[in-house]
Structure 1
């Protein structure tokens, strides 16, 4: 259940981010509007979205969730539930 919630939070952030604001400002505003997300949820969502965007234009043919799993594996030495 927990991983499904984390992936759903990532997907919502990814869908809502239009690139107009810098990512850190967008996340601040997004988390302020979604107060139901606890500190752990915010931490995981931030980790996932930054890892995802660090891939840049690599692996564009893959689905976003597959790119997320690869990005999280490449960007962090600690394991996550998504990998």
Structure 2
């Protein structure tokens, strides 16, 4: 069973995200499956114009994870 068939069976929204610059041929396959393609610009920060540090909302923290961090599987599952 394809991922799209399973999504339709479960009644969940049909959505896929990918970088068109990396896999441009995927667009045709997505459209052949009957899905609409909504193009969004790839947002990349210019390394020569860094943003100033931003204040975080109360209770929010940010930390970097490495390959051995036990939280890594949960973080990767989130998207």
TM-score normalised to structure 1 length: 0.25
More helix by share: 1
Q: Quick one: higher RCO (CA 8 Å, sep 6+), 1 or 2? A: 1
